[in-house]
Structure 1
Amino acid sequence: MRSLLNKFLIVSLAVAGTACTGDYLDINSNPYEPNGDEMQADDYILGSAMNGLASCVVSSDVNTTQFTDCLLGGPAGGYLATTNTGFNNTIENFNATDNWTNVFLKSDRIIPVLYTNLTLVENLATQLGNPVPLAIAKIIKVTSMSRVTDAYGPIPYSKIGADGSVTTPYDAQEMVYDTMFVELSDAVKTLQENPEAALSATADYVYSGDLTKWIKFANSMKLRLAMRLLYADRAKAQQWAEDATNEANGGVIETNADNAQWNYFGATENPLYTATRYNNEGDESGGDTHAAADIICYMNGYEDPRRSVYFVESEFDDMPYVGVRRSIDLTSLGSYNHAYSGARIGRNDPIMWMNAAEVAFLRAEARLNNFNVGGGTAQSYYEDGIRLSFEQWGVSGADTYMSNSTSTPTAYNDPTGTNSFATPLSTITVAWDENATTEVKLERIITQKWIANWLLGNEAWADHRRTGYPRLMPATAAGNKSGGTVNSNVGINRIPYPTDEFVSNKENADAAVGILNGESSQGSGDNYSTHVWWDKKPGRENIYAGSSN
């Protein structure tokens, strides 16, 4: 037990939210260790470890979350735009420095915290004779690490050390996915076999110990990952999508009461709230980050009533909701960089991991592909997704919204006249059309799923890479600073591996690039343009704003 207590500080640091992206393994060598008198209760240690694990999905550390979600996932997914005019090297400009792109793999707030606490939970679960905490811990692990592999492709996974050390061989992304499916299935089986085993509410700020809800979330994650594989391995996608939605396995999230969200921020600030307001000069609309023009052009075109709960109004006259075009020369914003609409995030809001609307849209896409994922049709699941999203955000008018068969996304009129995009982003409407082509139906599903998944930027980025939808604005000529590596119409397909990996883990990092290139359907090398394994839709890179179906 003493060894477990000595590891407890890892947990405390995981949720402290004070560090940035320093030495990856510094967290494992902290000199301050609690003694046995300070913590005697096993449930307290377990609860702290579980909360430490939860902090590894979207980190409670503000600087980590700024890089992973505000500067990477949010812009790549079309939700957020960088507006700090002093940034010369950004992911949006395809020329970010290593300390921007290395965070998912090298931050001391993600993998080291995740695996150290996972080991701690495993030891405690064995000691207490209760397998449930470890099953939940593995669901959290998959949720966190799926974001990492989707950012890079092959990653260290099966051979990561108990302390989070990644000086190990990389797994092919297909192998990572295969392993994650098994881990989720095993976790569901364990939870189903132990319905009486309790997890205290203080150990679970997601579901307050409700195992039925954890089962639904695990299956929903399985469905999310299954649909990711649609163009890489259709048979495997169908197998796991149907397994996930099989009622015998406990079902998936179908109501907002079952949404997976981390409700940790009652007494502390939501890191997304803080990160989007860095350098805001007292202006609530935002600082380093504002809302992207892409999503606002869609929602303005549809006159979407969710705008008022998604966005802070802009400072431009007669333009309440206007976003910033992504991948531009940031100096072109000048003194107007604070005037655009911001992301409306509550100081103490929970962080969403997965919502019922997303699951409904996943089932809609699965039914579009004739997968047996329930009794609904593609249309009924699509419309369920819209209704669930309106309910989640507390706005009315879903039926009117989904019957709109004429409104389409707008072109982008930059109030400063600098970065406008005169072509409407898409011709897609909201109302379902059963006579439309399969591709048009897919665009409709993914577009509404994207709107419903507001701020789940890494998920939006994955869908955009996987399907080509939603159609997003291209980079400007001045905004594409990749030296020709990145197609301005497409944006980034992945991020490069940390440079330190080619020093401290060179043999394995070199091998990882070889695996990446072997799995990729397009591009080569360790750069922004190479496709990850599941990114295999034929012609996907020909889908962009203004192109036809």
Structure 2
Amino acid sequence: AQLFRIAIMHRMTDTYGPIPYSKVIEDSSESLTVAYDSQETVYMKMFEELDAVIAALHANEQMSAEAFRKSDNVYYGDIKKWIKYANSLKLRIAMRLSYIKPDIAQAKAEEAVTDGVILDNADNAYMHAPENRMALIYNDWGDHRVGADIISYMNGYKDPRRAVMFTQGTWNKKTDYYGMRIGTDPTNKSAMVSTYSNQIVDSKSPYLWMNAAEVTFLRAEGALRGWAMQGDAKDLYETAIRLSFEERGVTGADTYLTDAVSTPQKYTDPMGNYSMQAPASTITIAWEADDTDAVRERNLERIITQKWIAIFPLGIEAWSEYRRTGYPRLLPAVENKSAGTVNVKYGARRIPYPSEEYTENPVHLQEAISMLNGRDNAGTRVWWDVKSLE
């Protein structure tokens, strides 16, 4: 339960910044008007709690899986796999601090890798629910379509994973992978549903929590930064891509890895409304060997871009890593509807607090907003979001 709480609240603090965290547990009255913690306090508390979780799991790792197999729809009672997941979550959380607290980030990341993280697809964290409700949203309601950004990258790379990740759409009798720009204003829903690509998902699909590819990309980034990640950056980067291809059940990883020519495709809107003159990035796939600042930064862009593809559809994680690193480079929203609080080139940096907090918890909310330099808007950067945007 503690592990789940950390995983869930990690998403919450990355979405909002300061959140009620430690005081929620300390308040025995179960009040909904407790004080907020700064995001730094939340992160340090999560590390403390994760270490306690990992220690408790280690103390019981020889327990038979039968003990709670029927209550566990992820690892079916295998505590050793839960240890790998907990350490992988610790690695993910540690990497978030790479620009704001690099010493802590390195120490916690190295601890996680040393103790054992997810290395193979057999240990991927998938939650097998009786029904995947995303199928209802994507297939039955038709309320979502795949974004232009990931389609443009994967089209440009001729990525074979497209066929198992996305449907094809049709426009003017031409069938292809088509993405929809952020900020598109649908005027004809039925036409858009048939034109733009959809995520391939059904009611029996499991929910992805974390996969070996993401963990290996995290290790690749750590190695690029000079951390002890049990492998060098290039080998880990290439291993991560191979793991993603294996997870998706497609071939061609070796050819893909050596492609030093293909770049993201410029976005052409099949419906002719929101096309762009140039792609958001010109980054290629193949690793560059030179050890200069410019090459290391390009290799970082490769790591994050390929991780972004491999973790689809983990939207909050992808958004957080985009904010932390600036990668992958994304198309600007079609229209800026933020009244000037958001730089459309870089997108929203957080989500404003719910209106209920203004009415139900106003005193503590104002304390939280003061931690955000007095601005509760989507353009305000959270604590760890400090990399230069230029």
The answer to whether the superposition gives a TM-score over 0.5 is yes
Whether the 8 Å CA contact 1:302–1:409 is kept in 2: the answer is yes
Deviation at 1:191, TM superposition (A): 1.2
Decide which of 124, 128, 152 is 1:263's aligned counterpart: 128
CA–CA distance in 2 between the matches of 1:176 and 1:534?
A: 12
Which segments of 5 or more consecutive residues in structure 1 lack a partner in the other structure? 1-136, 280-286, 518-523, 543-549
Whether the 8 Å CA contact 1:207–1:260 is kept in 2: the answer is yes
* CA deviation vs aligned residue, 1:499-548 (integer Å, no higher than 9, x gap): 1111111110000001122xxxxxx50000000001011x22x3xxxxxx
Decide which of 322, 330, 345 is 1:489's aligned counterpart: 345
Aligned letter for 2:339?
A: G
CA–CA distance in 2 between the matches of 1:460 and 1:289?
A: 17
Deviation at 1:428, TM superposition (A): 0.6
- 1:104 is aligned to none
Note closer, same or farther for the CA distance 1:164–1:456 as it changes in structure 2 (3 Å cut): farther
CA–CA distance in 1 between the matches of 2:160 and 2:267?
A: 19
SS of alignment partner, residue 241 of structure 1: helix
SS of alignment partner, residue 24 of structure 2: coil
Aligned residues: 381
Q: Does 1:150 align with 2:14?
A: yes
Instruction: Return the TM-score normalized by structure 2.
Output: 0.95
Note closer, same or farther for the CA distance 1:381–1:313 as it changes in structure 2 (3 Å cut): same
SS of alignment partner, residue 315 of structure 1: strand
Q: Does 1:367 align with 2:223?
A: yes
Matches within 5 A, 1:386-465: 386-435=241-290, 437-465=295-323
Deviation at 1:163, TM superposition (A): 8.3
Deviation at 1:164, TM superposition (A): 6.2
Deviation at 1:464, TM superposition (A): 0.4
CA–CA distance in 2 between the matches of 1:464 and 1:422?
A: 22
Matches within 5 A, 1:143-542: 143-161=7-25, 165-198=31-64, 199-246=67-114, 249=115, 251-265=116-130, 268=131, 270-277=132-139, 279=141, 287-316=142-171, 317-331=173-187, 336-338=191-193, 339-374=195-230, 376-435=231-290, 437-476=295-334, 479-517=335-373, 525-537=375-387, 539-540=388-389, 542=390
CA–CA distance in 2 between the matches of 1:443 and 1:163?
A: 47
* CA deviation vs aligned residue, 1:201-224 (integer Å, no higher than 9, x gap): 111101001011000000000000
Whether the 8 Å CA contact 1:202–1:208 is kept in 2: the answer is yes
CA–CA distance in 1 between the matches of 2:327 and 2:23?
A: 35
* CA deviation vs aligned residue, 1:248-302 (integer Å, no higher than 9, x gap): x3x000000101110123xx2x1222122353xxxxxxx1100001000000000
Which segments of 5 or more consecutive residues in structure 2 lack a partner in the other structure? none
Matches within 5 A, 1:86-125: none
Whether the 8 Å CA contact 1:292–1:325 is kept in 2: the answer is yes
- 1:101 is aligned to none
**Percent of residue pairs bearing the same amino acid type:** 49
* CA deviation vs aligned residue, 1:141-173 (integer Å, no higher than 9, x gap): 111111111100000011115686431000110
CA–CA distance in 2 between the matches of 1:444 and 1:237?
A: 21
Note closer, same or farther for the CA distance 1:197–1:480 as it changes in structure 2 (3 Å cut): same
Instruction: Return the TM-score normalized by structure 1.
Output: 0.68
